[in-house]
């Protein structure tokens, strides 16, 4: 983890490759016609990544290249960590110090298939982004694209560049949607080894090894489509 020095979060890293030419061109396209105001830039970048990259939890995760910002851009699909990587990259290209944060979250609104896949409704090392804007760090969560939010009856998460934008605690039916359980701090790059180790501890090493095998050998996960899976409303009173 890197201490809170904003300038340290402007440089490209091995995974958040903000020096990649395609990332630079993508950023310029998003910000075409935008003023030099960092808040305005951050807002435009957020919505582009939130809705331009579809949320897909059934993607490989065990190697650094799986979360590389340029890879996410080419793929057009990612789960929260990959989307945070891309948003960090474009933020840095635009001159905004940007870092990635992680937390364990309990998702009360998921799909039957995904809960069975994880073995729990807790997602370990969920990722969000922090922009350094007007002298403070502001959180943004670009994970769920607008189409997925509508299917789950949750308002798309808005971001104004002035206030933290984390998941809504309740959905439109006033059911529990998301709880933040434990924060893991912020980083200049994606800590892949720490994530995989945490997943092995939380989900079981055998389960995580099987996920990797399913990707590398059988390709079974490529056939899964999170968007078409059965939504499960788990209303838990607290």
- Expressed as residue numbers, the domain containing 142 is 6-233
Q: Could you give phi then psi for residue 195, rounded to 5 degrees?
A: -65, -50
Say if 238 falls within a structural domain. no
DSSP-derived secondary structure for 148-183 = HHHHTT-PPPP--SSS-B---SB-TTS-B-EEEEEE
For residues 9 and 95, the answer to whether their CB atoms sit within 8 Å is no
Say if 223 falls within a structural domain. yes
Quick count: other Cβ atoms within 10 Å of Cβ 97? 21
Say if 121 falls within a structural domain. yes
Say if 198 falls within a structural domain. yes
The pLDDT of residue 174 is 63
Query: CB under 8 Å to 205, separation ≥6 — which residues?
Result: none
What are the DSSP E strand ranges found in the chain?
A: 54-55, 77-78, 98-107, 109-111, 122-133, 136-140, 178-187, 231-233
Query: CB under 8 Å to 153, separation ≥6 — which residues?
Result: 109, 171, 172, 173
- What are residue 77's DSSP bridge partners? 54
The pLDDT of residue 225 is 78
What whole-number distance in Å separates Cα of residue 89 and Cα of residue 181? 27
What whole-number distance in Å separates Cα of residue 6 and Cα of residue 17? 18
Domain total of the chain: 1
Say if 1 falls within a structural domain. no
Give pLDDT tens digits along the chain (238 positions).
445 688 899 999 999 999 999 999 999 999 999 999 999 999 999 999 999 999 999 999 999 999 999 999 999 999 999 999 999 999 999 999 999 999 999 875 678 898 899 999 899 999 999 999 999 999 999 999 999 888 888 888 899 999 999 876 656 666 666 788 999 999 999 999 999 999 999 999 999 999 999 888 866 667 777 887 888 764 433 3
* Helices (H), ranges, 57-127: 69-75, 80-93, 112-118
CATH code of 67's domain = 3.10.620.30
Q: Could you give phi then psi for residue 184, rounded to 5 degrees?
A: -110, 10
What whole-number distance in Å separates Cα of residue 230 and Cα of residue 238? 25
Say if 96 falls within a structural domain. yes
Query: CB under 8 Å to 219, separation ≥6 — which residues?
Result: none
The pLDDT of residue 226 is 80
Say if 82 falls within a structural domain. yes
């Amino acid at each position: 983890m890197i201490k809170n020095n904003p300038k340290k979060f402007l440089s490209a890293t091995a995974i958040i490759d903000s020096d990649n030419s395609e990332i630079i061109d993508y950023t310029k396209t998003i910000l075409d016609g935008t003023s030099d105001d960092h808040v305005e830039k951050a807002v435009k970048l957020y919505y582009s990544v939130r809705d331009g990259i579809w949320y897909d939890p059934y993607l490989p995760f065990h190697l650094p290249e799986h979360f590389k910002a340029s890879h996410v851009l080419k793929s057009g699909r990612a789960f929260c960590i990959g989307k945070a990587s891309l948003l960090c990259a474009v933020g840095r290209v635009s001159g905004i110090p940007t870092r990635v944060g992680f937390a364990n979250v309990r998702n009360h609104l998921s799909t039957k298939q995904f809960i069975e896949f994880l073995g729990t409704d807790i997602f370990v090392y969920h990722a969000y982004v922090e922009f350094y804007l007007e002298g403070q760090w502001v959180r943004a969560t670009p994970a769920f694209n607008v189409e997925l939010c509508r299917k789950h009856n949750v308002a798309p998460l808005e971001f104004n560049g002035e206030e933290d934008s984390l998941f809504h605690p309740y959905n439109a039916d006033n059911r529990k949607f998301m709880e933040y359980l434990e924060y893991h701090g912020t980083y200049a790059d994606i800590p892949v080894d720490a994530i995989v180790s945490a997943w092995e501890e939380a989900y079981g090493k055998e389960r995580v090894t099987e996920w990797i095998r399913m990707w590398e050998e059988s390709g079974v996960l490529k056939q899964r489509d999170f968007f078409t899976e059965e939504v499960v409303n788990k209303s838990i009173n607290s």
